[in-house]
Structure 1
Amino acid sequence: MRVSTVPATGRTVSNPVIPGFHPDPSVCRAGDDYYLACSSFEYFPGVPLFHSRDLVHWTQIGNALDRPSQLRLPLDSPSSGGIYAPTLRHHDGRFWLIVTNVSGDGNLLFTATDPAGPWSDPIPLPGVHGIDPDLAWDDDGVCWCTTAGVGQVSLDPHTGETTGPQRRIWSGTPGAKAPEAPHLYRIGDYWYLLIAEGGTERCHGVSVARGRTPTGPFEPCPHNPVLTHRGTDHPVQNTGHADLAQAPDGSWWMVLLGVRPGGGTPGWHVLGRETFLAPVDWVDGWPVVGEVPSVLPAPAWPLHPPAAAPDARDDFDLSELAPHWVSLRHRPAEACTTKERPGSLTLRARGGSLDDTDVTFVGRRQQHLSCRVRALADVTEGRGGLAVRLDEHHHYDIEATPGEVLVRARVGPLNTVVASRPIPAGPVVLRIDVTATRTLQDARTGPDTVRIGVEEPDGTFLELALLDGRYLSTEVAGGFTGRVIGMFAAAGSVHFDWFDYEPLD
């Protein structure tokens, strides 16, 4: 029997619902509100948190791990290390967040009464082994933690102490690698175990099993995977790492990660893994996942778009940075402040370039396939500029010193100055234009182009370099992250009067 829980409305909304590098989404509902957390890897603060009233429009309300006591990322920890795969849950009047810090601290548990923070210091979980931990409570109040593998152990979430050995409860689909991202739910008469498998690349997918108890035994869905785009030409690929939420009208929805490859063969995704939304029906007691298109049929309940667009210019007039700003591994106050020069962001150099793991960098995720980024930099006391970053070995940047700007490209072992030009004394407007490829020249056409230069006093763009965007993609660089565009200091102190991010899609 088919039970359709997703009514047709005739309206549409955009997908992904949280664009840009926002992978591994986990969602929970508290009353009429939804909250969502994502992985953050080597960036600080960690675990961005979002709020929505309709599952479609999301506003970042903070970052769960915003203190050094919560998030320890050694300066030598690699890019794509750090914080993996949070699970966010609301239970017994509190919010619970469990994550893995693969760069040293292992599995950690945090709590809060308000998801906007503050969140507690971490509760270590030495008895929980494996990444992608999940939390679920049974009718007796027992808390079950399930991890990639798929292993399970009961624990006291207040102390972090586990009870008994961790045991394997399901191995996923035979022949599918990397069973991970487990989420356990009580829905009706069954406990459903949702996992990702196939690896987080093009073969990624979502499978499900069910059992009468949270510990199994689990019966796999006869139609697994319930979601995958492997072997298709769908514009959204790598679909997986999902979580379920039920709406007030009883309908079910899935948040999941996916990528939007561009260009020719093999296709390059540059924004990282993004958060998408898909409707879910129930057929004979199994979830059936609907289409994951770029334009999604809107939910039937009232939509609540944010009051203001998030992609606004920042004049750094506030004493603290907005939550969408991230840095690398940590952000000491002496290296990054808006208080030294009111109305400006002052960055003091630590590492000497974007090649260094301790470089002073403040950026935001690229969220649009085409965008324009500008910043007004004063380098009279130092050297720094504007960069598009994937990791230490893959970045494009424009660096200003008193009297000169230069464009540098780092692609793996190749590190070269592409262009340079003298500039007059005083602040300079640095600019990066990213333009998505719309027409393929041949199968080797890249996903986008990156134009880098400066603006003249009359606003004219002086282009210094035109670079192929494929080299700042996961398919080239590897890893799990996406592009972050921002400001850096390579020597002395650099003051940024403003930063402007303009979507051009």
Structure 2
Amino acid sequence: MTGAGAALPTGDLGDGTYRNPVLAADWSDPDVVRVGEDYHLTASSFGRAPGLPLLHSRDLVNWTLVGHALERLEPAAAFTEPQHDRGVWAPSFRHHDGRFWIFWGDPDHGIYQVNAPSVRGPWTAPHLVKAGRGLIDACPLWDEESGEAYLVHAWAKSRAGFNNRLTGHRMSPDGTRLLDAGRVLVDADLLPGWFTLEGPKLYRHDGWFWIFAPAGGVATGWQGAFRSRSFLGPYEERIVLAQGDTDVNGPHQGGWVRTGPGEDWFLHFQQSGAHGRLVHLQPMRWDTDGWPVLGDEGAPVRVHRKPDLPEQPPARPAVDDTFPGGRFGRQWQWTANPGEGWASQHTGDGLRLGCVRSDRPADLRNAPHVLTQRLPAGALVVEVGLRLDAMAPGARAGLVVLGDAYAWIGLERAPDGTARLVHRFAPANADRERDAARSRPLTGDRVLLRVEVTADARCRFSYDTGTGTDPEARTGAGTDSVTGAGTAPGTDSGTGTGTGT
């Protein structure tokens, strides 16, 4: 699978400055940790597998994806089918006692953690620290001054019946259990103008306990900071980052990191329509009263000097793939825990997807065997060469732009055994697909599929059978991620093969 992705810019402007976003794709709810000269970032992965992406940087501007900390979601039985907007919410990334730790809240099951001696693993199986509904956005703290361990989390109103408050616990030093029933540390219902307080990150600095937490909602909110001399409070609050007169709406949830040379920086996300939550980097300093000041006196910056760190080559998470040996790159995730036979390895290049039987109405939003990656922001072209091997009527494979609404183009096996090119879409409020164009037979089983994406995430679908493209196959469906999919309603055998082009 190739495209114009290689030409997409990084945040590095090449002159000692950077432009936000530094990660121009949906890396939602980022958190960051430094170990030595290396910076590591993780983000929400919701119901996709593998989950908990692991990104690496040496300068906080240029990032690469190096793996995932969660091979399969737990409880496994709950994620055999897509669970959009569920699963892994707002993880926290820490390094303690020679190990990397990631804690997160699953709104339907509770607070989990995994840990590893190296960011590349091996990572432990998910451990349930506290069971319960509505427990989200968990963050640990090992206090080196007292030797105590703590954990703070937020609440999901859709499960718990309330939100806008942060709860704190004492935690066992090994991170396996909570030692008390918890106490409300911050009740934002008591703070005039504050609502939807969530996403806490817990720190110890300059004799204070600090909680960095956003409020006000994803699209229009702000970043707050709370401090107390005692973990149990009381906490005083301040808004430390807000949109102001900038074009960065709702600068939201993220994490603070201090570089080796002693500079402070803050990574957070901005909601950006179809492209999801893009990651911004803000400078940070401490004022004379000991409060953090983010961005340009509390307003987000678009362009700024880079951190005072060794120069690094431009980099961004991979998007292209030729699928060597049938293996797909780290940027790809299934929409649920994968099953046997969904993809198979072989000796050449190209991805071989197994057609999976489905008795449901055709709707790729409910299909677990869809292989996805994040849609990069900016104009780009995605191409994939496709061969449909499966002969069973109804077998199909294709290229889809998938979100609340979706559209796809690909091949489907007709009852007479011929391969037909189809172009279909599903609106956000519909429960099945519709034809976007008349299907048409092919003389063979191969086709080059293409999606041209504009900077505002409108998509134009086309194909080439070796005799040119069809400019009439187009749609303006809402988008979230670019995916290659192999599905086979009513069949139990055959493969859909996407070859690198």
1:411 CA displacement: 0.7
Q: 1:213: how far off?
A: 2.5
> Is the CA contact (8 Å cut-off) linking 2:101 and 2:116 kept in structure 1?
yes
Distance of aligned partners of 1:235 and 1:349 in 2 relative to their CA distance in 1, 3 Å threshold: farther
Paired residues of 2:335 and 2:367 also in contact (CA < 8 A):
yes
Cα drift, residue 418 of structure 1: 1.0
Matched, 1:169 2:169: no
Give the counterpart letter for 1:376 in structure 2: G
Partner in structure 2 of residue 483 of structure 1: 481
Cα deviations by residue, 1:221-273 (Å, 9 ceiling, x for unpaired): 3xx2x11227x5x333231112100011211000001133xxxxxxxx11111
Cα pair distance change 1:11/1:71, threshold 3 Å: farther
Aligned length: 453
Tell me the alpha carbon deviations over residues 34-70 of structure 1, each in whole angstroms, 9 at most, x when there is no partner. 1110001121111111111111111111011013568
The 3-state SS of whatever aligns with 1:44 is: coil
1:341, 1:89 → 2: CA distance? 40
2:224 is equivalent to residue 216 of structure 1: no
Q: How does 1:379-394 map to 2 (within 5 A)?
A: 379-381=388-390, 382-391=395-404, 394=405
Q: Does 1:330 align with 2:330?
A: no
Does the alignment pair 1:468 with 2:476? yes
Query: Does the C-alpha gap of structure 1 residues 499 and 142 become closer, same or farther in structure 2, counting only changes over 3 Å?
Result: farther
1:433-464 Cα shifts (integer Å, max 9, x gaps): 1112xxxxxxxxxx342101202426x43224
The CA deviation at 1:218 is 1.3
Counterpart of 1:489, as a letter, is: T
Alignment of 1:407-426 (within 5 A): 407-414=423-430, 415-419=433-437, 420-426=439-445
Alpha-carbon distance change, 68 to 299 in structure 1, aligned in 2, over 3 angstroms: closer
- Letter of the 2:484 counterpart: G
* CA 1:239–1:493: 2 relative to 1, 3 Å: farther
- For 2:316 and 2:27, how far apart are their aligned partners in 1? 18
- Report matched runs for 1:40-439 at 5 Å: 40-67=45-72, 73-75=78-80, 78-102=83-107, 104-126=108-130, 130-138=135-143, 139-148=145-154, 149-156=165-172, 158=174, 160-172=176-188, 173-201=191-219, 203-221=220-238, 224=239, 226-229=240-243, 232=245, 234-260=246-272, 269-284=273-288, 285-291=290-296, 292-305=300-313, 310-311=317-318, 313-318=320-325, 320-339=327-346, 343-351=350-358, 353-355=362-364, 357-381=366-390, 382-391=395-404, 394-401=405-412, 402-414=418-430, 415-419=433-437, 420-436=439-455
Q: Which moved more, 1:18-27 or 1:483-492?
A: 483-492
Name structure 2 gaps, 5 residues minimum: 1-13, 155-164, 413-417
Letter of the 2:115 partner, please give it: T
- In 2, the alpha carbon distance for the partners of 1:418 and 1:74 equals 31
**Cα deviation, residue 78, structure 1:** 3.6
Q: Distance in 1 between matches of 2:382 and 2:173?
A: 44
- Paired residue for 2:159? none
Q: Is the 8 A contact 2:218 2:271 kept in 1?
A: no
The amino acid across from 2:346 in the alignment is K
TM-score by length of 1: 0.83
| 1:487 to partner: Cα distance | 2.7
C-alpha separation in 1, matches of 2:20 and 2:201 = 23
| Letter paired with 2:29 | D
Q: CA deviation at 1:323?
A: 1.3
Q: In the alignment, is the contact (CA less than 8 A) between 2:21 and 2:281 conserved in 1?
A: yes
Describe the SS at the equivalent of 1:296. Answer: strand
Residues 424-463 of structure 1: matches in 2 within 5 Å? 424-436=443-455, 447-457=456-466, 460-463=468-471
Q: Does the Cα contact within 8 Å between 2:152 and 2:168 map onto a contact in 1? A: yes
Cα distance, 1:216 vs structure 2: 2.1
1:317 Cα deviation after fit: 1.2
Quote how far apart the aligned CAs of 1:334 are. Answer: 1.2
C-alpha spacing 1:417/1:67, structure 2 compared with 1 (3 Å): same
8 A Cα contact 1:315 1:498, kept in partner: yes
What is the one-letter code of the residue matched to 1:368? A
Residue 271 of structure 1 aligns with an amino acid whose one-letter code is H
Determine the structure 2 residue equivalent to 1:264. none
Q: Aligned equivalents of 1:41 and 1:345: distance in 2?
A: 26
State the shift of 1:483 in Å. Answer: 2.6
Relative to structure 1, the CA distance from residue 384 to residue 410 in structure 2 (aligned partners, 3 Å threshold; closer, same or farther) is: same
Percent of aligned pairs with the same residue? 27
SS, match of residue 96 in structure 1? strand
